[in-house]
Amino acid sequence: MIYIFSSDNLLGFQFFCWEFLCFNNSCFLELN
């Protein structure tokens, strides 16, 4: 698995956090 970490204000990921694992206002995207 590949995990991408993005701050909540990077590349607009704050708008998509609900679709992924939100952790301390950050997003972890799990990609296959």
For the chain, which residues make up each domain, given as ranges?
2-31
pLDDT above 50: residue 4: yes
For position 26, what pLDDT does the model report? 55
For position 29, what pLDDT does the model report? 58
CA distance 28 to 8: 10
Is 12 buried (19+), middle (13-18) or exposed (0-12) by CB count in 10 A? exposed
Beta-strand (E) ranges in the chain?
2-7, 21-23, 26-31
Give per-residue pLDDT as tens, 18-28: 455 555 555 55
For position 27, what pLDDT does the model report? 56
For position 16, what pLDDT does the model report? 47
Instruction: Tell me the average pLDDT of the chain.
Output: 53
Q: Does residue 15 or residue 31 have the better pLDDT?
A: 31
CA-CA-CA-CA torsion sign (13, 16, 17, 21): negative
> Measured in whole angstroms, how far is the alpha carbon of residue 18 from the centre of its chain?
9
